[in-house]
Amino acid sequence: MIKDLLLDFLDILFPILLYQFIVLTKPVFKRSPLKNKIFLGMLCGIAITLSMLLPSPISNDLDGDLRNIPLIISLLYGGFIGGAISFTCFSISRFLIDLQGFLHGFFSSFVTAALVCAVTSIFVPQFHKRTPKNRFFIVMGLWFVTFMATLCALMNQSQASEMNMFLVVQVGLLQLAAMCMSVFLMEVTIHTNTMQEQILHSEKLSIAGHLASSVAHELRSPLTVIKGFIQLALRDTEGKTKHYLETTVSELKRVEYVIDDYLNYAKPQLEKVEVLSLADVFHQMNELIYPLSQTNNVRVEMNSEGNLWVRADKSKLIQALNNVVKNSIEASKSQQGIVSIHAYQVDQLDVCIKICDNGCGMSGEELDKLGTPFYSTQNNGTGLGLMVTCKIIKAFDGKIDFKSEKGKGTEVSILMPMITNC
């Protein structure tokens, strides 16, 4: 009996190990969440089938296999698509393996699946956004509920004298170990996948930074010479020619601004790092963004709670915040836009600057690409502004996080270390 239970244990873990190996080695599953969910659902369906082929009888009416574990894993980690696939695999397998017990087995597992679906309808939309610790407790809670439901069914269908309670305890402990191991493997897969994406993202940023720095330096020297000669020519010209030359100089300044963005992206030049009051920073920001907000008919609301101080280069911090606010204004201009900028103390260590808008928002795919080299959601954008913002905030030991929903708006949270002894 113990041998059958251990073999059932391995049957449950093998498909999850296979899922871990394939997902971490095949980029197609990283790029397509739908394929990932379908693949997980199929493997969990195989695990359920293998578990049903090796039943561990607890009583005459009930088996002690581990089919509920892959069902819960597929529903939580694979969503309703993965859960539906695994439950379909179970139904087909149950029909082919035991036609006489099909209705009873189908009903008991359907009740389990319905119970899990009812709970996951609350947790699944935010399940992947929760911490690994919270995800572990959610999964273990669902397992405990389903195990207790199975145990109650056992007690209702069997006489106490017929029950092998020692075997019941063994199955319970084995299910607990199998569930813990399954969750551990899934969390390791998610963590490793995230680390690989971060490493790849860092490599892309490093390559783009070196390229941007070399190109910017090569362009700056000839542009300085061109600008100098045009300014000399302006002294001796009048009329339309002078107007044309002035326009050329203004466009050259715009090119220089783009080059500065490239250099800031490669390595932000922090000229004067000092302790700043966010209230003063907001006051200066308001003067800079007021014309743009009025032009686009967008209301900008600024609020700073108490005396909040941070250590930063004032011009760079304003540049980083302005880049975010400008994007929010651009996204909200087609409607009665509202952009709110709110600074508050998170704990004793950090200050949060939250920038929210009610603009068009972004899809999950667009949100994942934010901050990547030269990606922009605007047709006329270069993507440099947000790249520079991320670099500047990182240079101040800060963090930036984006949340958005299509048609509802975007929320940007910037965390920076707070200075208390001021």
Contact 298, 332 (CB under 8 A): yes
Predicted confidence at residue 61, as pLDDT, reads: 46
How distant, in Å, are the alpha carbons of 208, 413, 416 from that of 218?
Answer: 15, 36, 34
Predicted confidence at residue 355, as pLDDT, reads: 92
CATH code of the domain made up of 2-201? 1.10.1760
Q: Which fold has domain 273-417?
A: Heat Shock Protein 90 (3.30.565)
Which stretches in the chain have pLDDT values below 50? 59-62, 159-161
In terms of Cβ atoms closer than 10 Å to its own Cβ (0-12, 13-18, 19+), residue 27 is: exposed
Domain ranges of the chain: 2-201, 204-266, 273-417
The number of angstroms, rounded, from the C-alpha of 419 to the middle of its chain's C-alpha atoms is: 29
What pTM does this model have?
0.59
**Cα gap 303→317, rounded to integer Å:** 17
Model confidence pLDDT, tens digit, residues 359-387: 888 877 777 777 666 666 666 666 667 87
Contact 116, 140 (CB under 8 A): no
Predicted confidence at residue 6, as pLDDT, reads: 73
Predicted confidence at residue 161, as pLDDT, reads: 47
